[in-house]
Structure 1
Amino acid sequence: MKILVVDDETDVRTLFEQRFRREIRSGALSFSFAYSGEAALEYLHDHFSEVVLILSDINMPGMSGLELLQHITEEHPAPPRPMVMMITAYGDDESRRQALELGASDLLTKPVDFAALKERLLSLNQA
């Protein structure tokens, strides 16, 4: 399963590669990384049909994760399109409401519970 992780913190790549080392090695999960909403849109322009899931931070400089989500749903109003899970340091109700209204399937809070995320991703991969 191809996953695009969108976060302005570049160390997120190392974190995901460490936490999902076994799943990456086995080929169960494959990650690509974009460090801004704009970079994510560029990546999706060339790889849209490959990406099954987008994990996006909400609070980023420039284009926010919510704006990215809005672009994705406007450009691809009907499925198939990647599932989107938003990640935020602020688990406030307004962010959750906005994300779900814009089409996110879930909202995760930082720090990310990698054990729960791994379980969720592997169950999606088997579905």
Structure 2
Amino acid sequence: MSLIILVVDDEADVEMLFRQQFRHDLRAGRFTMDFAQSAGSALQRIADAAAASLILILSDINMPGMSGLELLPKAKAARPDVPVIMITAYGDEDTKRKALEGGAEALLTKPIDFALLRSEIDSRVARIG
């Protein structure tokens, strides 16, 4: 079974950045990463993912159309078993409160601390694997 991490961000260069940061894990087949550039596309990918394979959703907050904060309750309703970590360039207390109250497991600020994110992912992969 392939473990999937869904990354939702409207910026095209985010996919390249994540693939580069996690290239060893991706090559080793520890998990795969799927990318969506809009909340609507993310909801479709969440619906399409096999039940056990989607292990984590990472979503930007500020996106055109549906924001990450609007996506959050929809993603949690579709897959209450999958943790969601929100990512934002603006880590103010109000945004953090809204994300956590909406069901987010955590809020990371940009630039992303990939060491912290890697430990989050490693702990999830270890629990499942």
Give the TM-score taking structure 2 as reference length.
0.90
Q: Is it true that 1:90 corresponds to 2:90 in the alignment?
A: yes
SS in 1 for 2:25: helix
Question: Is the Cα contact below 8 Å between 2:47 and 2:78 reproduced in 1?
Answer: no
Q: Which residue number in structure 2 is paired with residue 20 of structure 1?
A: 22
Q: Which residue number in structure 1 is paired with residue 106 of structure 2?
A: 106
Q: Which residue number in structure 1 is paired with residue 64 of structure 2?
A: 61
Cα distance in 1 for residues equivalent to 2:15 and 2:78: 27
The Cα RMSD (Å) is 1.3
CA shift, 1:119, in A, is: 1.9
Aligned partner letter, 1:8: D
Name which of 42, 45, 48 aligns with 2:47: 45
Aligned partner letter, 1:70: P
For structure 1, the residue ranges without an aligned partner over 5 or more in a row are: none
Aligned partner letter, 2:56: L
Cα distance in 2 for residues equivalent to 1:90 and 1:22: 30
Q: Percent identity?
A: 52
Give the number of equivalent residue pairs. 124
Question: Is the Cα contact below 8 Å between 2:86 and 2:99 reproduced in 1?
Answer: yes
Q: Which residue number in structure 1 is paired with residue 124 of structure 2?
A: 124
Q: Is it true that 1:73 corresponds to 2:76 in the alignment?
A: yes
Alignment CA distance shift 1:75-1:24 (3 Å): closer
SS in 1 for 2:12: coil
For structure 2, the residue ranges without an aligned partner over 5 or more in a row are: none
CA shift, 1:52, in A, is: 0.9
SS in 1 for 2:118: helix
Give the TM-score taking structure 1 as reference length.
0.91
CA shift, 1:9, in A, is: 0.3
